[in-house]
Structure 1
Amino acid sequence: MELRILATPHEQQALLDLPWDMPLEDWPEWYLVALPRGISRHVVRFTRLEGRVYALKEVVQSFADREYRLLRDLERLDVPSVQAVGVISGREAPDGEPLDPILVTRHLQFSLPYRALFARMMRRETVERLIDALVVLIARLHLLGFYWGDCSLSNTLFRRDAGAFAAYLVDAETGELHNRLSDGQREHDIDIARVNIAGEMMDLAAAGYLDDTVDPIATSDHVVERYHTLWSELTEWEAFDVNERWRIARRVERLNDLGFDVAELDIVTDIGGRTVRVQPKVVDPGHHSRRLLRLTGIDAQENQARRLLNDLDAYTAETDQQGEDEEIVANAWVMDCFEPVMRAIPREFRGKLEAPEIYHEVLEHRWYLSEQAGHDVGIEEAAQDYVESVLRHKPDELAILGGTSGDPEETQPFRIPWDELG
């Protein structure tokens, strides 16, 4: 049997150095990186190649090929998901015994499975933010015609997003991509999520990882309620009097606040012209993150982008540049505000949080210092104080997000330094 590596030429070369003739669970530890792993039906391990970390999942050929194609499709559709790198097939042990193929994906930096997040008891408010992130992910998938088939916390990774969380699909094994989902498909998918999440939350409660105020059943029911509310906001018709046209702008504004951009509206008036009905026709997620990327080149999560854009707006007003071209003002904000904060972060602390998340926390810290001082504290002064009083004492990625180093096999964090700052 011939070993076959389906991947880009560059990654094929790096992948050749791994021991594909061994079962994944038997790989020596020097090939592996200890990162938190979620619950999986399959053997999953992490390895580092040429400065990048990859997740390896041992699975049968048909599942590996199918999931690889689905993940590549989701990447092209700009869905928050892990990135498929390749499939290693034709594996066999030295004695000729065939081994299952391995699906290779890139590790999502600064992300954790839900069990690592709950390794320290999580408050009810934090649980709700986590659930909201998952609901937004499900809605985004459904809008694109993706039926998950096994939606759960276990099949999701989470990253911090300016006080909230962003959810990423990590397992597409049971997924199906259609032109459009029927109501029945959507309802079945969300019902699977409800059952799975109830079981996962009860498991956490039994392990003592849930606050006493968190009801596992009520939390799983909340997922369904939140999903239906969000889906209605995204897709339903809204009727109002012709003199209330401001409500069109309000509808678009609400969608933008949820992180969705309205590319087209379907507007219909009745025969008498007194009633207007409006429905978002095409909605694409990531309104704020796309705008921030376009203006500044900063790639951020949606809530992080919203916070940074608010700071950009405040900077515009403070410097009296409201009439100036927004790209010129954004470039000045990067040089006067964002980059000085990033330069204030010592090299050894740059793996603790993503740059946009650090800037968000500096803004929070600046507000706190200004309130204490009774006057506005400058951004650079706030950044320096934040480094010494807050960031210095934060553990790395894992513990920041709520993990524990109690079991190095499951929870050892991995640090990735930033690109060099000028």
Structure 2
Amino acid sequence: MNDSPDAEWHDEPTDWDQPGKLPRTRGGSDPGTLGSLNITAAATDPELLDLPWHIGLEDWPAQYLAALPRGISRHIVRFAHLGGSVIAIKETSEHVARHEYHMLRKLRRLDVPSVEPVAVITGRKARDGTDLDTVLVTRHLKFSMPYRALFSQTLRRDTLTRLIDAQALLLVRLHLIGFYWGDVSLSNTLFRRDAGAFAAYLVDAETGELYPGLSSGQREYDLEIARVNIAGELMDLSEGGLIEEEIDPLATSELIMDSYRRLWAELTDQESFDLNDRWRVNARIRRLNELGFDVEEYAIQTEANSSQIKLQPKVVDAGHHSRRLLRLTGLDAQENQARRLLNDMDAYRADNNPDVDEELSAHLWVTQVFEPIVRAVPRELGRKLEPAEVVHEVLEHRWYMSEKQDRNVPMAEAVQSYLDSILMHRRDEAAIMLTADTKTMDILGGGARDSP
């Protein structure tokens, strides 16, 4: 993302090379109806002026809209095409839009999983001169899904557990950087598949605030909001028959409390041990690495006339496996995907190149394992899953095939079997599209509050 200072653009006659101005487009919206728009954005997107900002969002013509699921919201939210991507547009007040826009920009700079803010647009007027609400524009997260779109018939218990674990991890990451969310819910989160688990992304930062640090009271209040909201969301699903009957919404909502507190304790608690047990320093760091965190700084305290050592992580940073995979291969993947691919890469090196350094062996793995699998996916199936998720699933599929058939199944055979028996029957997740009637769309829609 471009972290340059925001540009203020105004819709008035201007040339392409005039700094700080967005040029008038040819075609698209009628220039005479745009009025005096004010656009605050981090990067120029000239296509923004092709959209009908002189029309209330609820009445936008279908030709501009993208068929993505949306739910009941206290704001009007629509999805639209912008260049080669899809954007989410939310009508709100100017103060709220600007606050959320700048908060999302800060979170992106801090490398927190969140949607990308595109622009805030004010000064909208209808043809009859009526003032229209300010809009916040964010970019839709490709391959992401609202939690309500993650089921076919009913949402299973293990899927719910993985979603809640992902939500807890996201909340921990936010609290570590001092972000108080204020409206934690599954509805305000998008999820990406992550090697059998899920990665959670913050969507709605309307009520969020960034502080130098959070008190335990602030963290616990955010956690309580999460528990209450998740319980309500699961009750709605239960009443609609959309989760397994034996799932207790209240008991299930408690899972986020346990998951959050276990992870927070592992990341922040002080640990005391005997001087002779210094190996526990490295053991603690390895545990955090397995959880996907790097320890950038920790404190060790010894006491006079005592054999006790106190260890406390001070600065931890998520993305341990993702960074290692990116460093070795240039591949950008979710944390669990990266862990799975790194395991296969290490096994490949042990089996084929034990005397070759790690960087060279990683390059060979990319060219001989990763890329051939990705290239084998037909174009028409390319929108089903992210490439890293496809490779993970192929590796899992090959392992199960080999175990079942009691032989080492060749990779080419495993890939073809996976394409024919699994991937072909998956829905496209590059942009989840639902063709159900309006009532079902409301039930399935993610972001029941404001969320794309």
- The TM-score bracket by the shorter chain reads over 0.9
Pair 1:147-2:177 in alignment: no
Choose from 207, 212, 218 the match for 1:185. Answer: 218
Choose from 336, 357, 366 the match for 1:325. Answer: 357
Choose from 375, 381, 384 the match for 2:416. Answer: 384
Secondary structure of 1:139 counterpart: helix
- Return the offset for 1:281: 1.1
Whether contact under 8 Å (1:352, 1:394) holds in the other structure is: yes
Choose from 116, 127, 147 the match for 2:160. Answer: 127
Unpaired segments of 5 or more residues in structure 2?
1-34, 446-452
- Return the offset for 1:373: 2.4
Choose from 145, 152, 175 the match for 1:112. Answer: 145
- Return the offset for 1:40: 2.6
Q: TM-score, normalised by structure 1?
A: 0.93
Whether contact under 8 Å (2:88, 2:140) holds in the other structure is: yes
Secondary structure of 1:149 counterpart: coil
Report the aligned-residue RMSD.
1.9
Aligned counterpart, 1:267: 300
Aligned counterpart, 1:410: 441
Aligned counterpart, 1:368: 400
Aligned counterpart, 1:71: 104
User: What letter is aligned with 2:389?
Assistant: E
Structure with higher RCO (Cα < 8 A, 6+ apart): 2
User: What letter is aligned with 1:331?
Assistant: H
Aligned counterpart, 2:17: none
- Return the offset for 1:253: 1.6
Secondary structure of 1:310 counterpart: helix
Aligned counterpart, 1:256: 289
Q: Percent identity?
A: 59
Structure-2 change in CA distance of 1:324 and 1:264 (3 Å): farther
Write the distance in 2 (CA, Å) between the matches of 1:364 and 1:33.
34
Whether contact under 8 Å (2:183, 2:222) holds in the other structure is: yes
User: What letter is aligned with 1:397?
Assistant: E
Aligned counterpart, 1:3: 37
Whether contact under 8 Å (1:38, 1:114) holds in the other structure is: no
Whether contact under 8 Å (2:383, 2:430) holds in the other structure is: no
Structure-2 change in CA distance of 1:243 and 1:213 (3 Å): farther
Aligned counterpart, 1:62: 95
Secondary structure of 1:112 counterpart: coil
Write the distance in 2 (CA, Å) between the matches of 1:69 and 1:46.
21
Secondary structure of 1:71 counterpart: helix
- Return the offset for 1:394: 1.9
Which residues of 2 match residues 165-244 of structure 1 at below 5 A? 165-244=198-277
Write the distance in 2 (CA, Å) between the matches of 1:151 and 1:172.
10
User: What letter is aligned with 1:329?
Assistant: S
Write the distance in 1 (CA, Å) between the matches of 2:137 and 2:176.
27
Equivalences, count: 409
- Return the offset for 1:410: 3.4
- Return the offset for 1:2: 2.0
Pair 1:295-2:328 in alignment: yes
User: What letter is aligned with 1:6?
Assistant: T
Secondary structure of 1:86 counterpart: strand
Aligned counterpart, 1:417: none
Q: TM-score, normalised by structure 2?
A: 0.87
Pair 1:25-2:96 in alignment: no
